[in-house]
Amino acid sequence: MSRKQITGIGPAPRTGADDSGCPILHVDMDAFFASVELLERPELRGRPVIVGSPAGRGVVLSATYEARAYGVHSAMPMSRARRLCPQAVIIPPGHGKYSEVSKGVMEIFHAITPLVEPIASDEAFLDVGGARRRLGPPAAIAAMIKEQVLDRYGITCSVGVASSKFVAKLASKQCKPDGLLVVPAGEVVAFLHPLPVSALWGVGERTEQSLVRLGIRTVGDLARVPPGTLQRELGQAVGGHLAALAWGRDERQVSAHVPDKSIGNEETFATDVDDPGVIRRELLRLSERVAARMRKGGHVGRTVSVKLRRADFTTITRSRTLREPTDVAQVIYATACELFQAAGLERVRLRLVGVRMENLRPAEEATRQLSLGERETGWREAEQAMDKAIRRFGPDAVVPASLVRGKLDEIET
């Protein structure tokens, strides 16, 4: 069955598309960061545009579809993106404006249904089953969302309408950009089976290679393999998961309150670094950012993780679970330094470092009993005071002394 037979694409769904069993929407902004930038640079419309660091060695944050035609995509190293599309206009990211537009778009979603599950700043699942009586069928609600996002913010989005989260997300990807794709509940298998097996959640590069060795290239091929065979080849959990998805079985509900699983920050150096002092200063800077985000969100965490990427792109991660949960930067930093030292990379050229806190829980669980004779360090109170100063006077109002020293060293050199 062709895509045209099961969908309508554009500002309104095709007459006759059966969305009666399709309460789940997946809304995905089209080239979100790039689209927001073009609001201020309309003369660049129709040209390849990449959002990322023009001088550094970071990754592509977003790219217009004109740039994607050259093979550029998000998370690609900027150096490779510039080689693939040397004529692209590169715009440095302005994160504040993205957050502002994202917040407004999410407000549009919440005005339609309380069942909104954000996946990122530019996409979300919605369950509109309870909004039918007030706003009409799901496909009409999807069309209304597209119209409101365009009218209020001047950017486009693509919407998948289906009976499950898995199929809705696939549908939104299939109809990009600026599309609306309805997959009726009775046509899920016809929609899924022609797709490449890599379309399934959980099929990464290695799993795809394993499946291709078995002669499995499409979702339909996989659906015809007995689940027991898949479980023997891929493992019990993965095999069973893929066998269910191949037939469109996804029982997960839209969750309006999805707790953060982790909070992290990472930094790509302008040039490879093998100076342990520079790396430790960056670990401190990242620890400060992570801790501030945790306190702002009302979180504490027990597991500290560091990410270390070598110059040859080999990535090493190390983690440690603390005795008590924390949101204190100094605790996170001390643990990150220990993990860095234990990784044995103190004299190895690094391209990127990252710090992440996992195993999160509400901040009120951070209270603990002091051991006999133990003194409270006062770090949490000091960092909370720093938060207040930063909110009032700006991000550079209070900076750890070692970071100030590092900045002076950079200026002197």
Q: Which pLDDT tens digit goes with each residue over 92-123?
A: 988 788 989 999 999 999 999 999 999 888 99
28 is in an annotated binding site: yes
260 is in an annotated binding site: no
The H or E element that residue 123 is part of is: strand 123-127
Contact 180, 25 (CB under 8 A): no
Of residues 37, 117, 123, 282, which has the active-site annotation? 123
Distance CA 28, CA 355 (A): 28
Amino acid at 95: H
pLDDT at 12: 40
Among the listed residues 60, 84, 87, 88, the one whose alpha carbon sits nearest the alpha carbon of residue 74: 60
Res 350 pLDDT > 90: yes
The H or E element that residue 232 is part of is: helix 227-234
Res 230 pLDDT > 70: yes
Strand order in the sheet with 350-362: 262-273, 350-362, 299-310, 315-326
List, in order, residues 6 or more apart from 374 with CB less than 8 Å away: none
The token pair at 395 is 């991000």
Distance CA 132, CA 112 (A): 10
Res 63 pLDDT > 90: yes
The phi-psi region of residue 254 (left if phi > 0; otherwise alpha if psi is between -120 and 50; otherwise beta) is beta
Fold for domain 1-183?
A: Alpha-Beta Plaits (3.30.70)
pTM score, two decimals? Answer: 0.70
The token pair at 370 is 């002091």
Res 6 pLDDT > 60: no
Mean pLDDT of the chain: 85
Query: How many residues are recorded in the chain?
Result: 413
- Of the pLDDT bands very low, low, confident and very high (cuts 50, 70, 90), residue 1 is very low
pLDDT at 359: 85
Mean pLDDT of 362-370: 53
The token pair at 78 is 């900027």
Fold for domain 193-246?
A: DNA polymerase; domain 1 (1.10.150)
Distance CA 218, CA 15 (A): 30
pLDDT at 96: 82
pLDDT at 239: 87
Say which residue, 38 or 360, is predicted with more confidence.
38
- Of the pLDDT bands very low, low, confident and very high (cuts 50, 70, 90), residue 186 is very high
* C-alpha separations of 114 from 22, 117, 203, 254, 256 in Å: 17, 9, 31, 10, 7
Domain definitions of the chain by residue range: 1-183, 193-246, 262-412
> Residue 324 catalytic?
no
Q: Which pLDDT tens digit goes with each residue over 293-319?
A: 988 888 889 899 999 999 888 889 999
Res 378 pLDDT > 60: no
- Of the pLDDT bands very low, low, confident and very high (cuts 50, 70, 90), residue 384 is low
Fold for domain 262-412?
A: Dna Ligase; domain 1 (3.30.1490)
Mean pLDDT of 206-222: 90
Res 41 pLDDT > 90: yes
Q: Which pLDDT tens digit goes with each residue over 254-280?
A: 988 766 778 999 998 888 999 999 999
- Report the percentage of the chain scoring pLDDT > 90: 59
Mean pLDDT of 10-30: 76
Distance CA 413, CA 406 (A): 11
Lowest mean pLDDT among 262-266, 361-365, 393-397: 393-397
